[in-house]
A and B are shown apart, each in its own frame.
Chain A
Amino acid sequence: MSFINLKNVVKVYPDGTQAIFNSSLSIEKGELVVFVGPSGCGKSTLLRMIAGLEDVTDGEIDLDGNRINEIDPSERDIAMVFQNYALYPHMSVYNNIAYGLRSRGIKKLEIEAQVTNVSELLQIGDLLSKKPGQLSGGQRQRVAMGRAIARDPKVFLFDEPLSNLDAKLRVQVRLEIKKLQRKMGTTSIFVTHDQTEAMTLGDRLVVMNKGVMEQVGTPMEIYYHPKTKFVAEFIGTPSMNFITGSIKDKTFKASSFAIPAKYEDKDDVILGVRPEDISITKATTGVKCKVELIEKLGSSTVIYCVDMKENQLCVSTQSRASVEVGDTIHISTNNKALHFFDRETSKALTK
C-alpha cells in the first residue's frame, strides 16, 4: 500500500474547464515527487486537490490508507508552501510559524521550542520579530518553509516555491530543500515548470501535459526512455531534435539521410535525437550541414545548423569546436541514442 494514492482522479472546474483527466498515481513514503509540465497543464490543480483546496470531481485520493476526498484541509496533516509564500502579513515571523500550532491547541512551551527549532534549522532566528513586509524574497521563502516544517506534517506540498527567487538563489534553495527533505524524510510533492529543477530535485517525476500524466518515472528513465514525443521534447535542454521520415527494412529514411532502426516497417515516423548525442565528425560520412548560429556556454557549445534538405538540427558538444557560422560540418550520432515516435499518436515505437 502506497502512502499517497490517486485513483482515477478527474477535475472539472465549475466553469466547465476540465483541468485533470483520469489520472492515477502512487507515491511511496519519504519520496520526493515532482509534477512538471508547461503552464496550464494542471500541476497546481492536482496539488491543490491533494491539499484539499479544490474539490475532487471524480476519483479518490488516499493518504496513509484513508480516503481524504471529504476531509477538511486542516485535518489532512499536510503543509503547503505557496508560490507567493502567502505569509500572514499582519503577523510577525514568529506568529506566522506558530499559527498552525496554536490553532491545533498545542501548549505554549512546546510551540516555543518548536519555533526555535525550526528557526535554527532555517537560520531565520534573528527575523522572528519582523513582519513579512520587512523581509527579502529569499527570507520570506524561508519563513514559508518554516511554517510548513513547524507542524511536522505527513506531506509537504510545494507549488513553485522557487519561481520568485533570482537564478542563483534558486539553485541554492533547491539544494537546501532537497537536503532538508532527505533529513526529515517527509513525503513531498513539488510542482514546477522548470525541467532542470524537476530533474535535480525529484526521486520521481510526473510529466504532465494538458491535464494528462504523460509519463511517471525516475529522472533518468524519463530522460533516456521518454514514452511520448511531448516528454522527449519537454525534458532536456537544448530540446531534442525531431526529423520526420519512415521505417522500411529496418532502416529509418529521412529526406537527407538513413540510419538503422530495428523496428517494423511504418510510414510517418519521427526520429528524435538529443543535441548532446550528436557529434561532429571529421569524416565526410556524416550528414552534411551548414552552421547557422552558435551559442557558447563555456562548458558546452550549442550549434544550430540545417542539413541539405532544410531540416533544422541542434548539436551540443563539450569540446571547444572551432566552428564558425557559415561553415559546413558533418555530423553523426550514436545509433543507441535514437528515439522513434509514431507521428500520429506521438507515442514511442516499441520493438
Chain B
Amino acid sequence: MKKVQFKSKYTQYIFLAPTLIIISIFLYLPIVQTFRDAFTTQDAFGFGRFFAGWDNFKFVLSDPSYLVALKFTFIYIFVITVISCSLGLLLAVQANKVIHGKSAYKTLLIWPYAIAPAVVGVTAQYFFSERFGILYALFNSLWGFDWTANIFDAYIYLFIAGSWKQISANFIFFLAGLQTIQKSVIEASLIDCRSSLRRFWTITFPLLMPTTFFLVIINITYGFFDTFGIIDTTTIGAPSGETKTLVYKAYIDGFRGLDLGAAGAQSIIMMLLVLIITIIQFRYIERRIHYN
C-alpha cells in the first residue's frame, strides 16, 4: 500500500476539524453546561446565577417524586430487557429454522426497528386509547383496565409500547449471532443430544452469550435514554407521575418546571448510575462469557 504523507504538519487538523467542532458543540459544551447548571441556582426571573454547592443534589435526592421515578426506571428497564430479549431470541431461533421464505420473515420482523420512539408511542396510543383502542377494550373487559387511573395498568401500557420496537432490534442481533455458530457444532450436538430444549440451553444459548451481553447493555441504555419519546406520547407520567423515567423527569423539571439546577443534578446522578452499571457488567458478567 502506498503511504500518504502530508506536506504540512497542520493539514491533518483541517481534516479532523469538522468532527471535532461538531463533537464540541453538541457533546462537550452541553456536558459543561450541565455541570454549571447542577452546581448553581438561578433566581426566578433568570437574572442572576449563584453558586449552590451540593444544594441541587440534596434537593433532588430528598424529593419523593425523584425516588418514584428512580424505582420506575429500574422496573421499566428490567421488564423491557427481559421481555424484548426473550421474545427476540425466541423469534430468532424460530426464524433460523425456517427454510422457505426466510427473508420474508426476517424483513417483517425487522421493520419495527426502523420506527422512531415517538412514532412507536403514537402507534401504541391507537391500541390503548380509551375510546377506540383494541387492547384497551380487551384488557378493560378482562379486569377493568384503565391506565389513567391505575399504576399497574399504566405500567403494562408502557411495557408493551417500550418492548415492541426492541424485540425487533434484539431479533436482528440474535439472528446474526445464531448464524455465527458453526453449523457442524450444532450437528455434533444433534448426534450427542436428543432433546432440542436441552441442546438449546447447553449449546446454543452459551454460544450466544456474547450477543446476549451486548444486547443487555444496549437494552439498558435504551431503557434509560430512548424512552423519552414513548412516554411523552403515551402516559406522560400518568396516573400522577408514577410512570416517569429519570430522563423524562429531568426533562420535565428542566424545561417545563424551568428548574435547570435540579435537572442538571439529575443528569449527573444518572450519568453516575450508568457508569456503575456498566462497570458491574464488564467486571462480573463479561468474564463468564466465552468468546469464540
CB < 8 Å neighbour of A99 from B190, B202, B292: B202
Complex Cα distance, B195 from A72, in Å, reads 10
A38 close to chain B: CB less than 8 A: no
List B residues 49-69 near A (Cβ within 8 Å). none
The residues of A that contact B209 with a CB separation of less than 8 Å are 90
Report A-chain residues with C-beta under 8 Å of the C-beta of B191. Answer: 51-53, 73-74, 78-80, 100
Chain A contacts for B193, CB-based, 8 A = 74, 99-100, 103
Q: Is the CB of A86 within 8 A of B184?
A: yes
Residues of A within 8 A of B202 (CB): 99
Contact B194 A103 (CB under 8 A): yes
Closest beta carbon of chain B to A15's beta carbon, Å: 10
**Chain B 191-206 residues near chain A, CB threshold 8 A:** 191-195, 198, 202-203, 206
Give Cα A83 to B187, complex, Å: 12
A160 to B206 CA separation, bound complex (whole angstroms): 28
Partner of A73, one of B190, B198, B292: B190
* Docked complex: B167-183 residues within 8 A CB-CB of A: 182
Cβ A88 vs Cβ B189 within 8 A: yes
Asked if B185 contacts A86 (CB within 8 A), the reply is yes
Contacts of A74 in B (CB 8 A): 190-194
- Say yes or no: A100 contacts B192, CB within 8 Å: yes
Min CB distance, B103 to chain A, in Å? 15
Report the bound CA distance from A72 to B194 in whole Å.
Answer: 8
**Judging by beta carbons under 8 Å apart, are A53 and B192 in contact?**
no
With contacts A89-B207, A99-B202 taken as known, whether A82 is within 8 angstroms of B195 at the C-beta atoms is no
Complex: chain A residue closest to B198, CB-CB: A103
- B14 in the interface, Cβ–Cβ < 8 Å? no
- Per the bound structure, the CA–CA distance linking A78 and B189 in Å amounts to 12
A133 to B194, CA, bound (A): 26
Bound CA span A53–B99, Å = 15
Report A83 CB to chain B, min CB distance, Å.
Answer: 8
Residue from A73, A86, A90 in contact with B206 in the complex, judged by beta carbons closer than 8 Å: A90
B290 touches A90 (CB 8 A): yes
Select which of A14, A83, A99, A131 is within 8 A of B192 by beta carbon. A99
Which residue from chain B places its CB closest to the CB of A90 in the assembled complex? B290
The reply to whether B192 and A89 form a contact with Cβ atoms under 8 Å apart is: no
Most buried by A among B99, B202, B207, B292: B202
Tell me if A84 is interfacial: C-beta within 8 Å of chain B: yes
Q: What size tier do the contact residues of chain B reach?
A: 20 to 34
Task: Indicate if B104 sits at the interface (CB-CB under 8 A).
Answer: no
Residues of the B chain whose Cβ atoms lie less than 8 Å from the Cβ of A103: 192-195, 198
Any B CB within 8 A of the CB of A75 = yes
Residues of chain B lying within 8 A (CB to CB) of residue A75: 194
Structural contact, A90 and B207, CB atoms closer than 8 A: yes
B188 in the interface, Cβ–Cβ < 8 Å?
yes
Nearest-Cβ distance from residue B202 to partner chain A, whole angstroms: 7
Q: Are B194 and A82 in contact, CB atoms less than 8 angstroms apart?
A: no
Q: Mark A56-78, 1 if CB is under 8 A from B, else 0.
A: 00000000000000001111001
A140 to chain B, nearest CB (A): 13
Docked pose: A79 CA to B184 CA in angstroms: 13
User: Within the complex, what minimum Cβ distance (angstroms) separates B128 from chain A?
Assistant: 43
Q: How far is the CA of A292 from the CA of B154 in the complex (A)?
A: 89
In the complex, A51 Cα to B187 Cα: how many Å?
Answer: 10
Given the interface pairs A89-B290, A103-B198, the reply to whether A82 lies near B188 with Cβ below 8 Å is yes
Are A86 and B192 closer than 8 Å at their CB atoms? no
How close is B186's CB to chain A, nearest CB, in angstroms? 8
Q: How far is the CB of A288 from chain B (nearest CB, A)?
A: 55
Partner of A80, one of B188, B198, B206: B188
On chain B, the residues within 8 Å of A88 by CB distance are: 185, 188-189, 203
Residues of B within 8 A of A84 (CB): 182, 184
Bound-state CA distance A256–B195 (Å) is 68
Q: Which residues from B are CB-within-8-Å of A147?
A: 188, 192
Q: Which residues on the A side are within 8 Å of B188 (C-beta)?
A: 80, 82, 86-88, 147
Are B207 and A82 neighbours in the complex by a CB distance under 8 Å? Answer: no
Are the C-beta atoms of B292 and A89 separated by less than 8 Å? yes
Indicate if the CB atoms of B192 and A82 lie closer than 8 Å.
no
Give Cα A106 to B183, complex, Å. 27
Bound together, the chains give a CA A75 to CA B193 distance in angstroms of 9
Q: Which A residues touch B99, using CB under 8 A?
A: 14
Query: Roughly how many angstroms separate A74 CA and B187 CA in the complex, as a whole number?
Result: 10
Within 8 A of B (CB), among A8-55: 14, 51-53
Also in contact, A53 and B190, with CB within 8 A (given A14-B99, A90-B206): yes
The residue of chain A having its C-beta at the shortest distance from the C-beta of B184 within the complex is: A86
Cβ contacts under 8 Å, A53 to chain B: 187, 190-191
Q: Is the CB of A89 within 8 A of B198?
A: no
Closest to A53 in B: B187
In residues 236-254 of chain B, which contact A (Cβ within 8 Å)? none
Interface residues as binary, B253-292 with A (CB distance below 8 Å gives 1, 0 otherwise): 0000000000000000000000000000000000000101
B290 touches A86 (CB 8 A): no
Nearest-CB residue, chain A, relative to B192:
A100
Q: How far is the CA of A52 from the CA of B99 in the complex (A)?
A: 18
Rounded to whole Å, the gap between the CB of B240 and the closest CB of chain A is 49
Contacts A52-B190, A86-B184, A103-B194 given; 19 further ones with Cβ under 8 A?
Answer: A53-B187, A53-B191, A73-B190, A74-B190, A74-B191, A78-B191, A80-B191, A82-B187, A82-B188, A83-B184, A86-B182, A86-B188, A89-B207, A90-B206, A90-B209, A90-B290, A99-B189, A99-B193, A100-B192
26 pairs, CB–CB < 8 Å, chain A vs chain B? A14-B99, A52-B190, A53-B191, A74-B191, A74-B192, A74-B193, A79-B191, A82-B187, A84-B184, A86-B185, A86-B187, A86-B188, A87-B188, A88-B188, A88-B203, A89-B290, A90-B206, A90-B207, A90-B290, A99-B192, A99-B193, A99-B202, A100-B193, A103-B195, A131-B290, A133-B292
Closest CB pairs A-B (n = 7): A103-B193, A86-B184, A100-B192, A90-B290, A86-B188, A74-B194, A90-B206
